[in-house]
A and B are shown apart, each in its own frame.
Chain A
Amino acid sequence: MRQDNVIKAILMAVAFSAILGLVLITVFIFKEGMPIILRIGGREFFLSSDWDPRAGRFGIFSMICGSMMVTAGAMVIGISFSLGLAIVLTQFSPPRLTAVLKPVIELLAGIPSVVYGFMGVVTLVPLIRIHLGGPGLSVLAASIVLGIMVLPTVTSIAVDALNAVPRPYWEGSIALGATRWQTTHMVMLRAARSGIVAAIILGMGRAVGETMAVIMVAGNTPAIPHGLLDPVRTLTANIALEMGYAAGDHRRALFATGVTLFVFIMVLNSIALVVSRRGARRTGAP
C-alpha cells in the first residue's frame, strides 16, 4: 500500500508537467512581450498600422486585420466542406464512400503545412494572378489553403458531435416520415449544434495560428488589405518572418505580437470549451 502511494505521488507530479508547461509558456511570452506594449501604449501598438521596425514604430493593426480576414475566408471554405463531409460520414454514410473518406481526411491532416503552402504557391497563386488579377499572393489564396488545412480538425469534431446525438432522435424523425435530409437538418444538426459550433471555433483557432503555409501564399505586405486579391500579413507571419534577424525592441515587439496571438487563441479556446460543455449538459451526450 505504501508503494502504491509513492507511485501515485510520482504520477501526480508528472501529470502536472502539462500545467507547468502552460504556466512557463504564458509567463515567458508575457514577460518578453508585455513591457513594450506598456511602454509604447496599447493604443499605439494595437490600433496603428505603422510597422517600421527600423524607425522604431510598431503598430500591428494591419496584422490583426490580416489574421481576421484570412481566418474568416478560411472558415467560409472550411465550414462548408467540413459540415458537408461530417453529414456524409454520419447521416448518409454509404459504406464504400466512408471507407475512402475516413483515411483521406486523416491523411489530409498528415500533410505538412509547408507542403500546403508550397502547393498554394505553385498551383493556386498563378491561377489567381492570371484569372482574377493582382499579385496572386493574396487573402484569397491564404483563405483557400487554410480552409483546406482546417478541414480535418473541424470535420472530426463535427462527426463526434453528430454521433453523440442520441439514436432515438433520428429514429423518431424517420418514423414520422421525414426524409434523411429533413432529419439531418431539422433534427440532427440542431441537436448537435453546440458541438458543431465548438468545432468551428476550434477550426478558427487553427486558422489564426497557422504560420508556414500562410507565409508562403499571403504575400506578407504589412498593410491593411482592401480586397480579397490584395497581399496580407498575419500576426503569425509577422513573427516568423522577422524573428530570424530581430533584436532589441524589434524582437520585443515580435513577442508582443505573440502575446496578442496568444490572447486571441485563449479567448477562442475558452469559448469553444464553454459552448461544448453547455451542449453536453443539455443533451446529456458526452
Chain B
Amino acid sequence: MRLPPVAAERIVLIVLWTIAAITVGVLLFIIAFILAHGLPHVTWRFLTDSPESMGREGGIFPMIVATGMVAGLAVLIAAPIGVATAIYLTEYTRETRVTAVIRFGADCLAGIPSIIYGLFGFVFFAITLGLGLSVISGALTLSLMVLPTIVRTSEEAIRAVPYAYREVSYGLGSTRWQMVTHVVLRSALPGIATGVVLSLARSIEETAVVMLTAGSALRLPTSLYHSSRTLSLHFYILSREGISMSMAYATASVLVLVVLGINLVAYWLMRRFVASGGIR
C-alpha cells in the first residue's frame, strides 16, 4: 500500500502514458480502418453519380447535395441568431436575471440529446407547421441544436476582446453599435468562426435528427421542401441493413474526411485566435 512517493510517481506516469497512447491509438485506428477499407471505392463516379438499387451501386451525389443543403442551411439560420445573442449578453446588458434566464436556456439546450431534437422537429416543424419530412425541417431542427455552441463560443470570443479597444472606439466618438460591428466583432471574428465551423461539422455528422425530420429519399433534393437523405443517414442505412459494405465504407470515408477536415480548420482557426492574443 505505502509505496515510496518517487516509485508511486513512476508507476502513475507509466499508467498515464499508456492511457494517452491508447487514446491516440484509438483515433488513428478508426481513421486508418475506415479509409483503408473505403478509399479504394471512392472514385470520381462515386462522388458524382446517383445511387442505384437502393445504394448497392452507383454513387452518393444526391446525399452530398442533401448534406450540404441541410447542414449549410442549419448554420446559416443558427449563426446570426447565436452571434446576436452573444452580442446582447456581452455588450448590451449587465448580468441580470434576464441574462441568467437566457444562459440557462442555452445551457439546457446544449444538454438535450439529439433524439429529443428529432422528436421535436418531427412533431413541430414536420407535422404542426406542415413542412413535412424535408430539407427545411431538418435544417431548422439542427439550427436549434447547434445554437448553444455558437452562443457559447461567440460569447467567449467577444469577452476576450481587450476592454481598451472599446474605450478607444468610444473615445473616437463611435456609437455602441459602431463599436460592436467595427471593433469587437472584427477582432472576435476568428473565435466566432471557430464555433460556426464546429457547428457545421456537428450538423453534417448528426444522424438521429435528420432521420426523424429530413426523411430518407434517395433522389436529388431540388427544393427545400423535398425529403432528402444526408451522408451520415445513408451510411447508417447502408451498413445497418447490410445493403453493401463496400459502399458503406466508401460513404464513411467521405464523411470522415469531410468532418475531420472541418474540425482541423476549426482547430487551426482557434490556434490563430489564441496566438493573436484572443483567449488566455
A236 / chain B contacts, CB cutoff of 8 Å: 113, 115, 208
Within 8 A of B (CB), among A30-50: 32
B111 to chain A, nearest CB (A): 4
- Which of the 9-residue segments A9-17, A134-142, A188-196 touches chain B? A9-17
Supposing A18-B102, A108-B27 touch, asked if A269 and B107 sit within 8 A by C-beta, the answer is yes
**A38, chain B: closest CB distance, angstroms:** 18
Contact A14 to B84, CB < 8 A, known contacts A3-B177, A110-B259: yes
Q: Are A11 and B88 in contact (CB under 8 A)?
A: yes
- Chain A interfacial residues counted at CB < 8 A: 80
Report the bound CA distance from A115 to B31 in whole Å: 10
Contact A100 B24 (CB under 8 A): yes
Given contacts A209-B115, A261-B115, is CB(A81)–CB(B23) below 8 Å? yes
Which residues in chain A, 67-92, are within 8 Å of chain B measured between CB atoms? Answer: 80-81, 84-85, 87-88, 92
Name B's interface SS. helix
Is B272 interfacial (CB 8 A cutoff)?
A: no
List A contacts of B87 (CB < 8 A): 11
Overall SS of chain A's interface: helix
Structural contact, B119 and A212, CB atoms closer than 8 A: no
Given A4-B176, A106-B263, answer yes or no on A24-B120 (Cβ-Cβ < 8 Å).
yes
Determine if A274 is an interface residue (Cβ-Cβ < 8 Å).
no
Residues of B within 8 A of A121 (CB): 239
Contacts of A15 in B (CB 8 A): 84-85, 88-89, 102
Of chain B, the residue at the smallest CB distance from A163 is: B280
CB distance from B83 to the nearest CB of A (A): 9
B105 touches A22 (CB 8 A): yes
A25 contacts B by Cβ under 8 Å: yes
Shortest B211–chain A CB gap in Å is 7
* CB-based contact A17/B81 at 8 Å: yes
Report A-chain residues with C-beta under 8 Å of the C-beta of B148. 18
B260 within 8 A of A: yes
Residue pair B23, A105 in contact (C-beta under 8 Å): yes
Chain A contact residues, CB within 8 Å of chain B: 3-4, 7-8, 10-12, 14-19, 21-22, 24-25, 28-29, 32, 80-81, 84-85, 87-88, 92, 97, 100-101, 103-116, 118-119, 121-123, 148, 151, 178-182, 202, 205, 208-212, 215-216, 236, 239-240, 243-244, 254-255, 258, 261-262, 265-266, 268-269, 273
